[in-house]
Structure 1
Amino acid sequence: MDFGYSARTQALREAVMAFMDEHVFPNEARYWAELEANTQAGKRWTPLPVIEELKPKARAAGLWNLFLPDSSLGAGLTNQEYAPLAELMGRVLWSSEVFNCSAPDTGNMEVLVRYGTPEQQERWLKPLLAGEIRSGFAMTEPAVASSDATNIEASITRDGEDYVLNGRKWWTSGAGDPRCKVLIFMGKTDPDAPRHSQQSMILVPMDTPGIRIVRPLTVMGYDDAPHGHMEIEFDQVRVPAANLLLGEGRGFEIAQGRLGPGRIHHCMRLIGLAERALGLMCQRALSRTAFGRTIAQQTVTQERIAEARCMIEQARLLTLKAAWMMDVAGNKTAKAEIAMIKVVAPQMACQVIDWAMQVHGGAGLCQDFPLAYYYAQARTLRFADGPDEVHRNAIAKLELGKHAPR
């Protein structure tokens, strides 16, 4: 395994760093100011001008769709090559959208690239790649433990040349954005089929009659407007049969193809977020004095800074190993490594951010610093794309399998 940067990766990394320094970091205050202004004007669920102004600049700089390994549509980077770029974007939570590299659009675009028909790609993939629209992913349900996706109860019923959808979904991220024009919906087409062949996925335009947004869900008090995480009711929602992805009973197959890259992208960004938190922690510790010494001189602070550096490096190396394995052996072979980073990276980020908040004192809890928001986002990722417990079970089963009697 060689985790050194290729010449192309190094050039892109320098370009992303320069873009972040010139356009993203200087606009962090403007982002929050625009969001507050929208709130005061009763337009909270409205796209922010700062992001829309930066998108053309990122595209002109050649920093667009970097996540997509298909070289005809994206940058043609491997997972290992994309990892350090995603890490840089992760230092500011909203910056990945500027580069058209934000979830859930990235996963949905990968689904359409891999499994979409030419007609589906023409209608939905092209405008997503261009950043003209956004999308959502409707999988999790409030009525069942969705950590076991076979519990999903929403129905997809064939009726002539259409499918009719019924059910209630939640945590449909991105559906609060008025630019969200399509959802990928997972439901059961055949409840009597084998357990992992009951589900299918279908494309659902957001303006289809019968779709009702019930409410935005908050994440530890944050509503993440204008992106949002919506609870949505589907009542007799009728869509053409041609909107079905891949075929009936292929939902789990699509989910596995989608969630592997999505999980590693989250972990890449979390490493960047932890780096940002550690940087803020060090700056604060050096600038504040308590009991006659700077906070940086307190032994407990030094221990935490050292431990944070170790944890970040460990998580980064494990993430790079998983990315390398996905590239050389495929997602299925790398399933243990993907599961491990999905456990390790969010817990690492939560701990590092927590220590950074502690060094900031009361300021770490308020809007003067981004740490509380960082923590909420990192904590959420111990659930998103599968809770820790599911990934730990998968890791344990693979480990036990190595020692089982033959």
Structure 2
Amino acid sequence: MSGIGPERTAALAERVEAFVRGTVIPYESDPRRDHHGAPTEELVAELKDRAREAGVLTPHILPDGSHLTQRETAAVLTASGLSPLGPLACNTAAPDEGNMYLLGKVGSAEIQARFLKPLVEGRARSAFFMTEPDGGAGSDPSMMKTRCHRDGNHWIINGRKAFITGAQGAKVGIVMAKSDDGACMFLVDLPDPAIRIERVPNTIDSSMPGGHATVAIDNLRVPADQMLGNSGEGFQYAQVRLSPARLSHCMRWLGACIRANEIATDYANRRMAFGRTLIDHEGVGFMLADNLIDLKQAELMIDWCAGVLDSGSLGTAESSMTKVAVSEALMRIADRCVQVMGGTGVTTDTIVEQVFREIRAFRIYDGPTEVHKWSLAKKIRRDWKGAQAESGAT
């Protein structure tokens, strides 16, 4: 990947940061929220219009349709994440950012024109339908119960999905189902009467429009040319999406924790207790020092994994390590920020309490920490067996 180079990347990231700090942050107190606290479609559309005017809408995708390198993307997405509303405004939020990446990599020209273009232009939101309830696909996608079969020039899909981020209000859907050949991936227009939202539960996080819906799919008919690739190749395409998507989450939430730490630092330097500012009490000062250490380590992990992906590797193990290390580090940072700020830290007077909630959810979505560690342990075992076989040891 050629990208745009370090100087143009730095300039772009600075523009995104200036936009988020100057334009987006004042919207954090905007009351236009849905039943679980997420910004309404009206608010998101207004924010995207402001980003379009500022020239920072979808900044990670260039006018010719090419994508920034992962290292360049890290600078831009971290800047967009300085506010929970920033990724929505700049069109770098999940699941759209990951879906745009996937369609840009493997979508046909027809699919890109019909489904990718409105996403890049910020005119539509999308949803990725993979996770299932009732013992179906989740951390183990091989358990997929949603089925599909060929019917002339169409495929018929039946099943249920759960925790589908942004399904309510989405216009583009990527649906995974299993045929006799294996997993398949389809592009669909939304809404569709065959895709019915059963419920949208209230959840600990509140940054993503449309929530995390449970969905029933009843005899959904999809034209055959809306399948990505061939029947049975769905998991292959899922891997193209998942490693960069895990890393993108790390980038955005790093930005959020940088901001939370700024707020906590400002508080600790202003608030007096026992005759001194809080920062002068070691118990507080050391927490903020630990935050700086964790922020730097998270930044370095992201840069390392981005370099692996830029080399052309799928980076499955590397993205698992980075997701674990960064999500756990950011959780520590968010927790310390709340603690430093005491009672103020658990109020909605600042975004610190929201960042804490969002990071807690981040430790689960795109694979819980424990699943990634289990996957890495299996790799350690495979690598050991391979080394033993190569050396002729028994």
1:240 corresponds in structure 2 to 223
Asked whether the 8 Å contact 1:216–1:223 carries over to 2, the reply is: no
- Seen in structure 2, the aligned counterparts of structure 1 residues 80 and 164 have a Cα distance that, compared at 3 Å, is same
CA shift for structure 1 position 212: 1.1
317-326 or 112-121: bigger deviation: 112-121
Give the counterpart letter for 1:58 in structure 2.
A
CA displacement, residues 107-132 of structure 1 (integer Å, 9 cap, x when unaligned): 21222222222222222111111111
Task: For 1:256 and 1:61, locate their aligned partners in 2 and report how far apart those are by CA, in whole Å.
Answer: 34
Structure 2 counterpart of 1:67, from 54, 60, 69: 60
SS where residue 237 of structure 1 aligns? strand
Give the counterpart letter for 2:160 in structure 1.
R
SS where residue 136 of structure 1 aligns? strand
Give the counterpart letter for 1:96 in structure 2.
P
Task: For 2:13 and 2:193, locate their aligned partners in 1 and report how far apart those are by CA, in whole Å.
Answer: 44
Question: Where do residues 7-406 of structure 1 align in structure 2 (5 Å cutoff)?
Answer: 7-30=7-30, 33-35=31-33, 46-49=40-43, 51-68=44-61, 72-74=64-66, 76-144=67-135, 146-177=138-169, 180-190=170-180, 193=181, 198-220=182-204, 222=205, 224=207, 226-328=209-311, 330-332=312-314, 334-404=315-385, 405=388, 406=390
CA displacement, residues 263-287 of structure 1 (integer Å, 9 cap, x when unaligned): 1110111211121121111112122
Give the counterpart letter for 2:176 in structure 1.
M
Task: For 1:365 and 1:287, locate their aligned partners in 2 and report how far apart those are by CA, in whole Å.
Answer: 18
CA shift for structure 1 position 292: 3.2
Task: For 1:244 and 1:168, locate their aligned partners in 2 and report how far apart those are by CA, in whole Å.
Answer: 19
Asked whether the 8 Å contact 1:142–1:170 carries over to 2, the reply is: yes
TM-score between the two structures when normalised by the length of structure 2: 0.90
Asked whether the 8 Å contact 2:179–2:232 carries over to 1, the reply is: yes
CA displacement, residues 219-241 of structure 1 (integer Å, 9 cap, x when unaligned): 22x55563311111111222222
How many residues of Structure 1 are paired with residues of Structure 2 in the alignment?
Answer: 382
Identity %: 35
Give the counterpart letter for 2:78 in structure 1.
E
Task: For 2:154 and 2:354, locate their aligned partners in 1 and report how far apart those are by CA, in whole Å.
Answer: 43
Task: For 2:384 and 2:183, locate their aligned partners in 1 and report how far apart those are by CA, in whole Å.
Answer: 33
- Seen in structure 2, the aligned counterparts of structure 1 residues 257 and 269 have a Cα distance that, compared at 3 Å, is same
Task: For 2:289 and 2:208, locate their aligned partners in 1 and report how far apart those are by CA, in whole Å.
Answer: 35
- Seen in structure 2, the aligned counterparts of structure 1 residues 313 and 43 have a Cα distance that, compared at 3 Å, is closer
CA displacement, residues 377-402 of structure 1 (integer Å, 9 cap, x when unaligned): 11112222222122112323334455
Asked whether the 8 Å contact 1:166–1:235 carries over to 2, the reply is: yes
Give the counterpart letter for 2:25 in structure 1.
F
Task: For 1:323 and 1:189, locate their aligned partners in 2 and report how far apart those are by CA, in whole Å.
Answer: 34
CA displacement, residues 193-247 of structure 1 (integer Å, 9 cap, x when unaligned): 5xxxx11111222232222111112222x55563311111111222222221111
SS where residue 364 of structure 2 aligns? coil
Give the counterpart letter for 2:42 in structure 1.
L
Asked whether the 8 Å contact 2:195–2:220 carries over to 1, the reply is: yes
**Structure 1: any 5+ residue segments left out of the alignment?**
none
Task: For 1:255 and 1:226, locate their aligned partners in 2 and report how far apart those are by CA, in whole Å.
Answer: 23
**Structure 2: any 5+ residue segments left out of the alignment?**
none
CA shift for structure 1 position 403: 4.1
Give the counterpart letter for 1:370 in structure 2.
I
Task: For 2:207 and 2:298, locate their aligned partners in 1 and report how far apart those are by CA, in whole Å.
Answer: 26
Give the counterpart letter for 1:8 in structure 2.
R
CA shift for structure 1 position 82: 1.5
